[in-house]
Amino acid sequence: MSLTGILYKTTRAFLCFLSVIIFILGAIFIVLQQFLIKTLFTSSPHYTKLFLDSSKKSFILLLITIFKLTSKDTKIRLTVPKEVNDRHGIISEVKDESLAKTLMERQSIMIANHQIYTDWVYLWWLSYTSDLGGSVYILLKKSLSYIPVLRYGMKNYEFIFLSRKWQEDQITLHNQLNDIDRNSRGLGRVNGNIPEKTTHEGKFLWGDLDSKSKAGHKWPYQLILFPEGTNLSANTRKKSIKYAEKVNKQPFRNVLLPHVTGLYTIIKTLSSCKYLYDVTIAYSGVKRHEYAQDIYTMKRVFLEGKSPHCIDIHVTVVKVEDIPMGSIDEFSDWLFKRWEMKDNLMQSFYDNNGVFYNGEKNEGVISSVYDCCCSPKEYLQILFAPCLTLWFVLKVFIKWVFK
């Protein structure tokens, strides 16, 4: 192996090691911060939530910092149909072209196709660019709730963990979504209200508190979920084909079939939600009939430095009032049509050599390319605690060695 190759591998190994250390120390610091918040402000739900939401933003900034260390050249190309952008102004003008600034509604849902395990990081980053980084709620597999340290943090963030057993999940969704919805209207627990009663199954029943309670501070939210339920792979594609046969639908070429019941329940429950952001995500370097999860593995990204050169994120907006919610069958037809459009968009991505649109002006879309990053001030805020801790540990270790 050449000297250049040895230096490159050494550098990659060092960056990977540094990233792991920063992540662990940063995560521990955030969890300790949460513990102090819940201890000091136990009698004030308002300030508890205010500071916990701030720590939630800190966590996405920590992840962005880690990604920047290991994948510094990765760009995000954001595209929005021109007519949609004219109405909603999602992509706005900014002074620093490398820092994204978007505008999304403060009570909204974001749905997307699922390519790799880290999709949610880029969607959370997108929420962060709309000043919603501390207001994100994510639907996750229940198995993730057992991760040491992080489980405490994610519980404080009120992330929703689903077991994929509808009998259990419908109660979980009902309880947590009602908390989110009522807090967004200033009528939830943070404002001092509690459910009127709890059923034998554990479902909270709020009753008609709107007419009895004075609304307090309204807390924004953006709920992120993947209706497909899992990321695209050879194995999940086979399962999706079987599921298509079961529900009498045609399987898609480039995405998995979405599951209907969960999203239908979510939209019905979040009465404060007015907009749904339909996101399609794709990764450069992935060809037709390939799987992003096989190409951008943890080893390749963090150890070998083979991260995607560009991540394409296409965003469109749907008014919730325009979604047919009269019955689950009507909603199912609507959702499958949306996913068919998503499938066609992914087909265009492969046909156009890794871009959703060729000749964006003629196609009627607005597009901007950004770094997946935060401001230098925020980098310093995130790195301060881990670096200070690392410096202290090294100082003690050196004194011990040379004692």
How many other CB atoms sit within 10 Å of the CB of residue 94? 14
pLDDT of residue 148: 81
Q: What's this model's pTM, rounded to 2 decimal places?
A: 0.92
pLDDT of residue 201: 87
pLDDT of residue 391: 78
pLDDT of residue 209: 53
Helices 45-70 & 3-40 angle (0-180, nearest 10): 180
Helices and strands, number each (H, E), in the chain: 13, 10
* Distant-in-sequence, close-in-space partners of 2: CB < 8 Å, separation ≥ 6: none
pLDDT of residue 322: 97
What average pLDDT values come out for the chain (403 residues) when binned by 10 residues?
76 82 89 93 94 95 89 88 93 67 95 94 95 95 83 92 87 94 94 89 79 77 95 93 89 94 95 97 93 87 81 97 96 96 96 84 82 87 79 76 72
pLDDT of residue 358: 81
Both tokens assigned to 385: 């605690």
Q: Provide the 8-state DSSP code for 304.
A: S
Q: Which residues of 38-58 are buried (b: 16+ CB within 10 A; e: fewer)?
A: eeebeeebeebbbbbbebbbb
pLDDT of residue 213: 60
pLDDT of residue 13: 80
For the chain, give every domain's residue range: 1-70+374-403
